[in-house]
């Protein structure tokens, strides 16, 4: 396991409960819903835009570019991009990562799956 410190819990709170950050060579979307933290690949599988519009009630994140929607728990694509309504959603999911709070900071392990 290789836990990487990303940012403080306070910074996540100030950001509104979600944000994307670079961790090594990955861009990771991190979100908090209640007491749960989620981390997933932040680069949309359709057009390589950064995911970002988070709905904490549904645990979903939407791509700003073409409105594809992903489940932050599983990385599964829930809605295809509006420009590709017939996209093979089962093949366009995103990788999730293990995430934890440690001493007031968010840490991500890119080697462990979040599922």
Domains and CATH numbers, the chain: 3-109 (2.102.10.10)
pTM of the model: 0.91
pLDDT at 27 over 90: yes
**Whole-angstrom distance, CA of residue 46 vs CA of residue 48:** 6
Using CA atoms in the order 96, 48, 10, 32, what is the torsion angle rounded to 10 degrees?
-40
Q: Residue 40: which pLDDT band, with cuts at 50, 70 and 90?
A: very high
Weakest mean pLDDT among 2-11, 18-27, 77-86: 77-86
HEC-encoded secondary structure of the chain: CCEEEEEEHHHHHHCCCEEEEEECCEEEEEEEECCEEEEEECECCCCCCEEEEEECCCCEEEECCCCCEEECCCCCEEECCCCCCCCCHHHCCCCECEEEEECCEEEEECCCCCC
Tokens of 8: 């403080």
pLDDT of residue 1: 66
pLDDT tens-digit readout, 88-105:
878 888 999 999 999 999
């Amino acid at each position: 396991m290789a836990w990487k410190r990303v940012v403080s819990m306070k910074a996540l709170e100030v950001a509104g409960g979600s944000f994307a950050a670079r961790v090594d060579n990955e861009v990771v979307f991190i979100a908090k819903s209640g007491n749960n933290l989620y981390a997933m690949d932040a680069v949309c599988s359709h057009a390589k835009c950064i995911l970002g519009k988070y709905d904490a009630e549904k645990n979903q994140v939407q791509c700003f570019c073409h409105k594809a929607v992903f489940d932050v728990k599983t990385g599964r694509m829930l809605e295809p991009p509006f420009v590709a309504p017939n996209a093979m959603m089962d093949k366009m999911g995103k990788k999730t990562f293990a995430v934890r709070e440690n001493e007031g900071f968010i840490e991500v392990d890119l080697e462990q799956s979040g599922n």
